[in-house]
Amino acid sequence: MSTETPTERREAAATRRRWVTLAEVVAVAGVLIAALTLWTNWSDHRANEADKIAAQSSAARERTKIDLSAIVQDGGNTLLLKDARHDLQDVTVTFPRSLGVSPQRPPAEPVIDASWFSAPLLKLTDGGSDDRAGRLPVLVSVQYFDGDTTRSASGIYDVIWKTHGRRILGRSFKLEGLRVRQLGGDQAKLDAIWAKEKPAT
């Protein structure tokens, strides 16, 4: 037989209700924490995937990018074009129109040959100092393999040249190197550059 008074029974019931309420709060808090943890993990995973995709895309763009350089050969008579990441398959070199040199496509190795344009440049610089140096802007268009895919690119490059006086046979003309001026470009841009920068006689 219970000896609890009505007041004690009410207090005991109230205590049980408080424990039930506290348990419910703890349970709800646990669910909220679990949901927050799940959302945070999903968000971090999504961010990591996005970073991974961006890094892969950047690496793919870097692999496909052409970066021409040149090796001086034959005592300065030719420039051998090369790219560290790609094999060059086809090269077309276009000159300023006013120079009077038609576009050149070397049949074998990807080279720029001084014989293509030495005569008009020597004529243009005749009458001044025998020892001169300058830059000739040219538009270089290349085709190359990126894996199994054939790609193309173009850019305006400066061909660096020098002339020296000789006792016989006039002045010598030698190529010194190649320097990128801009990626992309066309004949109009090339002609505009040359009009501003061609050597004065």
Write the pLDDT tens digit of every residue in 8-49. 667 666 666 666 566 676 777 787 888 888 888 877 777 777
Comparing CA positions, the residue from 191, 193, 197 lying closest to residue 99 is 191
CA distance 181 to 96: 15
CA distance 157 to 159: 6
In contact, 138 and 105? CB cutoff 8 Å: no
65-114 pLDDT, tens per residue?
788 999 999 999 999 999 988 888 899 999 999 999 999 999 889 999 99
Question: CA 43 from chain center: how many Å?
Answer: 31
Residue with tokens 């793919």: 60
What is residue 2's predicted lDDT score, i.e. its pLDDT?
54
Backbone angles phi, psi at 14, to 5 degrees: -65, -40
What is residue 185's predicted lDDT score, i.e. its pLDDT?
92
Strand partners, 72: 79
What is residue 43's predicted lDDT score, i.e. its pLDDT?
75
Residues in the chain: 201
Kindly report the pTM of this predicted structure: 0.67
| Rg for the chain, CA atoms, rounded | 37
What is residue 163's predicted lDDT score, i.e. its pLDDT?
93
What is residue 57's predicted lDDT score, i.e. its pLDDT?
45
Cβ contacts of 121-126, under 8 Å, gap ≥ 24: 121/161, 121/173, 121/199, 122/163, 122/170, 122/171, 122/173, 124/99, 124/198, 124/199, 124/201, 125/163, 125/199, 125/201, 126/201
137-192 pLDDT, tens per residue?
999 999 998 877 889 999 999 999 999 887 777 789 999 999 999 999 999 999 99
- Provide mean pLDDT across the span 104-130: 91
Task: State which H helix or E strand residue 161 sits in.
Answer: strand 149-164
Comparing CA positions, the residue from 76, 135, 73 lying closest to residue 110 is 73
